[in-house]
Amino acid sequence: MSEEMIYDTKYFRIAKAADVPNGERLFFELEGKPIVLFSLNGEYLAIEDQCTHDSGPVGEGELDGEQIICPRHGARFDIRTGKVLSFPAVTDIKVYKVRVKDEYLEVGI
Ligand code: FES
């Protein structure tokens, strides 16, 4: 995995963009953080794969448009902004920058 520092963001090369087709998800860890990346209608969005309610595996939840529903207790989050949208979670979830460079997906932390 290569990395590049841009201002205060460090980008890590994760996968070839072509290997993550529309509707697919990619689960990985960066510097000890579980992250899930969504390929959605030509865009790539990434959030921390740990629910802010009780650390549930939120990335395994059902997607409703750009909302993810935590499989453990049903909290909803906007995967573009990280905003929490419903109880029982009350804290936003972390989002990560994603860019495509040289046909590769790179995630910034
Ligand atoms: S752990 Fe996600 S809603 Fe409780």
Residues 29 and 36: their CA atoms lie apart, in Å, by: 9
Number of structural domains the chain divides into: 1
The number of residues in the chain equals: 109
What is the CATH classification number for the domain harbouring 48? 2.102.10.10
Give me the half-sphere count of Cα atoms (radius 13 Å) on the Cβ side of residue 102: 5
In which domain, by residue range, is 93 found? 3-108
Residue nearest to atom 3 of ligand 1 (CA): 73
Tell me if the bond preceding 71 is cis, omega within 30° of 0.
Answer: no
Identify the CA nearest to 18 among candidates 106, 108, 104.
104
Residue 54 Cβ contacting ligand 1 at under 6 Å: yes
Instruction: Write down the pTM of the prediction.
Output: 0.92
Q: Determine which helix (DSSP H) or strand (DSSP E) holds 3, and give its type and residue range.
A: strand 3-6
With the most atoms of ligand 1 within 8 angstroms of its CB, the residue from 50, 68, 70, 86 to mutate is 70
User: How confident is the model at residue 9, as a pLDDT?
Assistant: 85
Identify the CA nearest to 43 among candidates 99, 92, 103.
99
Per-residue pLDDT reduced to its tens digit, 30-78: 999 999 999 999 999 999 999 999 999 999 999 999 999 999 999 999 9
With the most atoms of ligand 1 within 8 angstroms of its CB, the residue from 73, 76, 77, 87 to mutate is 73
As a whole number of Å, the CA-based R_g of the chain is: 13
For residue 87, report the distance from its CA to the centre of ligand 1, in Å.
9
Q: What is the largest CA-CA distance in the chain?
A: 40
The DSSP output letter for 72 is T
Residues 84 and 64: their CA atoms lie apart, in Å, by: 14
pLDDT at residue 6 tops 90:
no
